[in-house]
Amino acid sequence: MRQIRLNRTLSNLRGSFLYSAKFLARPELQTALAEVYPSRSLWPENPRIEAIVPAAPSHPALVHEGANVRLTWQGGANNRRFVVYRIPEGVRPDFDDPAYIVCVTGNCEAVLPRAEGRYFVSALSPTHHESEAVSF
């Protein structure tokens, strides 16, 4: 944690993240990491290779199951992973804000705790390009 705090004080150092996964997986660090990195994030697009553009997911369906909500969809061409967003009611969707990401999955479904808001899903290609988001 000291290394993370030090990196945040250095204005000329942006985006440095060279830590051992074994170190970061220790249970005592999970709470501290949640404070330092409160939102999930996506890998950036790789500008050095030709872009692979993913098709948007199709046939989104939402089913309430007790305290959970099950979201399902169908993947399309060039879909490697999917990003599920939850946007609070009355808020204009901003898919550039990682605070709205609730999960990233390789499956065509997600079971999440029920919460107020609207759900959306987009697809990520192998080059990390994101499709248009589809509403549930």
* pLDDT number for residue 13: 65
**Residue 132 and residue 53 in contact, taking contact as beta carbons nearer than 8 Å:** no
**Residue 57 and residue 78 in contact, taking contact as beta carbons nearer than 8 Å:** no
**Residue 69 and residue 85 in contact, taking contact as beta carbons nearer than 8 Å:** no
Strand, coil or helix: 68:
strand
* pLDDT number for residue 20: 67
* pLDDT number for residue 39: 78
pLDDT at 3 over 80: no
Residue-wise pLDDT tens digits, 88-126: 999 999 999 999 999 999 999 999 999 999 999 999 999
DSSP state of 85: E
* pLDDT number for residue 48: 85
**Residue 28 and residue 54 in contact, taking contact as beta carbons nearer than 8 Å:** no
From the options 2.60.40.10, 3.40.50.1260, 2.40.30.170, 3.40.630.40, give the CATH code of 58-135: 2.60.40.10
Element (H, E) at 74: strand 68-74
Straight-line distance from the first to the last Cα atom of the chain, in angstroms, rounded to the nearest whole number: 39
Strand, coil or helix: 135:
strand
* pLDDT number for residue 123: 98
Name which residue leads in pLDDT, 114 or 12.
114
* pLDDT number for residue 57: 98
Residue-wise pLDDT tens digits, 36-84: 777 778 888 878 889 999 999 999 999 999 999 999 999 999 999 999 9
User: Which ranges in 1-136 belong to alpha helices (H)?
Assistant: 2-9, 21-24, 27-36
Identify residue 94 by its one-letter amino acid code.
D
Residue-wise pLDDT tens digits, 17-34: 666 666 666 776 767 777
The domain ranges of the chain are 2-36, 58-135
